[in-house]
Amino acid sequence: VAFLVITLFPSILNPVLETLNLYRAMDFYISIGFIFFIILMFHTYTSLKSVQRKLETIIRELVMERAKRKKRK
């Protein structure tokens, strides 16, 4: 909703643009896009690391279980 309002009324951003010393609203949009992309990549990286740790734990348990079975035979 906020993106729609800012798109329809770009003059709302003028005080923010002046504070950040940006001359065009497009510069602001690109900066926000980069920040959003970096946050998204960080979130993806941390989620992937969490899944990787869980997978390593599961695989480690399976290997230990199979090793115990082989010793019994």
- pLDDT block averages, 10 residues each, the chain of length 73: 86 91 89 96 98 98 94 81
Residues 6+ apart with CB under 8 A from 43: none
Q: What is the pLDDT of residue 3?
A: 82
Q: What is the pLDDT of residue 60?
A: 97
Q: What is the pLDDT of residue 54?
A: 98
Dig out the tokens for 63 from the structure. Answer: 């290997």
Does the model's pTM come out above 0.75?
no
Q: What is the pLDDT of residue 46?
A: 98
- The candidate with the shortest Cα–Cα distance to 25, out of 7, 49, 48, is 7
Residues 6+ apart with CB under 8 A from 20: 28
